Amino acid sequence: MAQVQTDTDKKLDKKMSAKNIKRVLTYLKPYRMKITILFLVILLSNIIMILGPYLTSIVIDQSIPNQDARQLTWIIVLYAVATLINGWASRYRLYNITLLGQDVLRDMRSDLFIHMQKLSFAFFDSQPHGKILIRVVNYINNLSNILSSGLINVLSDILSIIVTLAIMLAIDVRLTLYSLILMPVLFVATMIIKNKQRAAYDELSAKQANLNAYIHESIAGIKTTQSYTRESMNYDIFSDVSNQQREAYMKAVKAQDMLSPIVQNIATITISFIYFAGIRGLGVDVSTGILIAFVGYVNNFWNPIINVGNFYNSLVSGAVYLERVFEMMDVKPQIQDAPDAYEMPPVKGEVVFRDVTFGYTEEQNIFEHLSFHVKPGETIALVGPTGAGKSTITNLISRFYDIKDGAILVDGMDIRDVKVQSLRKEIGVMLQDTFIFSGTIMENIRYGNLEASPWDIVDAARVVRAHEFIQDLKNGYRTVVQERGSTLSAGQRQLISFARTLLADPKVLILDEATSSIDTQTEILLQEGLDRLLEGRTAFIVAHRLSTIRNSDRIFYIGDKKILESGSHEELMKKKGHYYNLYRTQSKLLKKV
């Protein structure tokens, strides 16, 4: 049932690759100066951390046996200053690591969003919107720690591992080798856990996306759900999806939390072994002082390894999110500007279809060899049975889809040769489903032309007869409407959408069922505005109302993947073909009482 699509788990097809790591690094590159400084500051505080025990040992070894109160005082002062410096360093570190992380997130999210703007309808139509949303918003947030504190800490950890290892080697090579003897075990264990963890996180991210998508759809479709009293069934589906997320989470955590105990046990075994080797000989001959120091270093050595292990942990889980993000960035926009695309100059509005073949899928064509020529300023009504492809023709002119064969020319320019955005600026489309953004009515109308003044907006609203109802609203044009304009009626939304299109002032106008929800009285009033709107523009109108159709210069009757009839109302009536039948049926239906 409804969960099926929210339940399809997209498995990652690629292995975690070095390419992705390189890609992450490109996001860090602009901040490399900051990262270097941060790294140095962290190094400084690490040195101070070592300084503490050192100062303590001086107190115990020198000041006290020598009864040197003066030295003790100096050491205390030094220690206090070091602590203050460390406080400053931690302040610097806290602020700048967060800043770095936030900057990187912002950049990445911004890139993803900009890329998303280029993706075609098919991308948005093919998956639940909740799944797209989670990538742009939530997944990117999940990367925050890995990219900032995680990365920098791991650098300083690796550094201290190297330093410690060098000191250990300087003290005693054999003991050092002894302390590394269990490294391969750790390595193998990490690999096993990593594989489990990656699979588990992959599943978790898929389940999380399913859950979010289901929640999202449940909210968006709540009115339908309540009307159809589907609540209890939806609840069951939700419980199921939610439970799957829970189990996937537990699986992921069980794998992830395994690493730390393993490292700690290995560390303890190693230390025991060093004690044993040091005390019982085993070919090592070291003094007790050195042995104690050495054990201290082994401890120092394992702590950063635990940290690195934890970082690796989060990297593995974060990588899954990262890959989903990159996966979306890699979706190729279907409609792309040609490399040598140029800005479309202002057009007169001539539209030519030359032998156009198009289909949404490979197998099925909506049109085959469709050709027509529309002169600037002409108004064309598209009629025909529902699903014949009237809207499709209008979608092709705006290049929302690319055709399979043939060419579409606007003012003689092939629309694939110009920049898509410049083409769409010349074409005004009023879509079947009106979309209202949350914001004021004024802002919603302004969407058609961002430079429009309030006067222009009121003018446009007057022309399309939206002014009356807007004035009746509590705050007039400043009334805030919620997303999708749920507080407005469908007809009111259409009027706003109409005003928006008028404001855009396009040369080619497409009205796709633009007035279907507007009542007749308003439409009569609107007609006047519509006439003004159509003046000097090429227009394609998809409508069912006879009066609208009749007034157009030419009528295209669409069917059988082509234009079956074209001509003015009078011509087509004389022809007594499809249009004649359609028209006659309609008037008959109206008259029959």
Partner 1 sequence: MNSIKWVWQYIRPYLFGWSWASIMVVAVALLNIVTPYVGGLIVDNVIYNGESDLLLPLLGLMLLGTFVRTILRYTYQIKFERIGQNALYQIREDLYTKLQELDFTFFNTTRVGDIMARMTGDTDAIRHAIAWLYFNVLDNIVLFVSALIVLSTIEWRLTLALLIVTPFIALFTILLSIKANGAFYEIRESFAKLNSMVEENIGGNKVVKAFANEAYEEQKFDVRNEGFKKANMDSVNISKTYLPVLETLAGFMAVISVGLGGFFVLNGMMSVGNLVAFNGLIWMLNTPMRNVGGYMNDMQRFITATYKIREMLNTKPLIPVNQKKSIQEMRGEVEFQNVSFAFADEPEHFVLSHISFRAEPGETIGILGETGSGKSTLVNMISRFFDPTEGRVLIDGEDARRWNVLDLRKQIAIVMQDVFLFSDTIKGNISYGKPSAEFEDIEQVARVADASQFIEKMPERYETYLGERGSGLSGGQRQRLSLARGLIKHPKILILDDTTSAVDMETEVKIQKGMKDVSRDTTTFIIANRISSVKNADQILIMSKGEIIERGQHEELLARKGSYYDIYQEQLGQSEVEEEEDEDGSSTD
Which residues, 247 to 276, sit near partner 1 by CB under 8 A? 249-250, 253-254, 257-258, 260-261, 264-265, 268-269, 271-272, 275-276
Which one of the spans 349-357, 372-380, 402-410, 417-425 is the region binding partner 1 (CB under 8 A)?
417-425
Q: Does 300 interact with partner 1 (rule: CB under 8 A)?
A: no
Q: Does 192 interact with partner 1 (rule: CB under 8 A)?
A: no
Cβ closest to partner 1, residue 375 vs residue 425: 425
Asked if residue 291 lies in contact with residue 278, where contact means CB atoms within 8 angstroms, the answer is yes
The DSSP line for 210-258 is HHHHHHHHHHHTHHHHHHTT-HHHHHHHHHHHHHHHHHHHHHHHHHHTT
What distance in Å separates the CA atoms of residue 309 and residue 235, rounded to the nearest whole number? 40
Residue 316, class by beta-carbon neighbours within 10 Å (0-12 exposed, 13-18 middle, 19+ buried)?
buried
Q: Does 487 interact with partner 1 (rule: CB under 8 A)?
A: yes
Cβ closest to partner 1, residue 221 vs residue 377: 221
Which residues within the stretch 307-326 sit at the binding site for partner 1 (CB under 8 A)?
Answer: none
> Phi and psi (nearest 5°) for 389?
120, 20
CA nearest neighbour of 266 among 185, 380, 355: 185
What's the closest the beta carbon of residue 249 comes to partner 1, in angstroms? 6
Asked if residue 207 lies in contact with residue 244, where contact means CB atoms within 8 angstroms, the answer is yes
Residue 478 is given by DSSP the state: G
Q: Which residue has the tokens 């969407």?
A: 447
Q: How far is CA 276 from the centre of its chain?
A: 56
Cβ closest to partner 1, residue 253 vs residue 329: 253
What mask, x for binding partner 1 by CB under 8 A, covers residues 211 to 230?
Answer: -xx-xxxxxxxxxxxxxxxx
Cβ closest to partner 1, residue 29 vs residue 588: 588
Which residues within the stretch 489-548 sit at the binding site for partner 1 (CB under 8 A)?
Answer: 489-492, 494-495, 500, 504, 513, 516-524, 544-547
Q: Does 91 interact with partner 1 (rule: CB under 8 A)?
A: yes
Cβ closest to partner 1, residue 206 vs residue 291: 291
Which tokens belong to 119?
Answer: 């993706």
Which tokens belong to 473?
Answer: 């609203």
- The residues, any chain, with a CB within 8 Å of residue 142's CB and separated by 6 or more, are 318, 321
Q: Does 190 interact with partner 1 (rule: CB under 8 A)?
A: no
Asked if residue 174 lies in contact with residue 284, where contact means CB atoms within 8 angstroms, the answer is yes
Cβ closest to partner 1, residue 197 vs residue 398: 398
Asked if residue 270 lies in contact with residue 298, where contact means CB atoms within 8 angstroms, the answer is yes
Which residues within the stretch 19-48 sit at the binding site for partner 1 (CB under 8 A)?
Answer: none
List residues bridging with 539 in a β-sheet.
379, 509
Which one of the spans 55-63, 300-308, 367-375, 554-562 is the region binding partner 1 (CB under 8 A)?
55-63
Which residues within the stretch 326-385 sit at the binding site for partner 1 (CB under 8 A)?
Answer: 360-361, 363-364, 383, 385
Which tokens belong to 420?
Answer: 């898509």
Cβ closest to partner 1, residue 15 vs residue 126: 126
Q: Under rule CB under 8 A, how many of the chain's residues touch partner 1?
A: 174
- Taking CB under 8 A as the criterion, the residue among 431, 459, 462, 554 binding partner 1 is 431
Which one of the spans 30-38, 208-216, 304-312, 319-327 is the region binding partner 1 (CB under 8 A)?
208-216
What mask, x for binding partner 1 by CB under 8 A, covers residues 433 to 472?
Answer: x-x-xx--------xx-x------------------x---
What's the closest the beta carbon of residue 185 comes to partner 1, in angstroms? 15
Cβ closest to partner 1, residue 316 vs residue 495: 495
Which residues within the stretch 107-126 sit at the binding site for partner 1 (CB under 8 A)?
Answer: 109-110, 113-114, 116-118, 121, 124-126
Asked if residue 526 lies in contact with residue 501, where contact means CB atoms within 8 angstroms, the answer is no
- The residues, any chain, with a CB within 8 Å of residue 17's CB and separated by 6 or more, are none
- Taking CB under 8 A as the criterion, the residue among 36, 453, 482, 568 binding partner 1 is 482
Which tokens belong to 185?
Answer: 């075990």
Q: Does 279 interact with partner 1 (rule: CB under 8 A)?
A: yes
> Phi and psi (nearest 5°) for 398?
-80, 0
What distance in Å separates the CA atoms of residue 180 and residue 567, rounded to the nearest whole number? 88
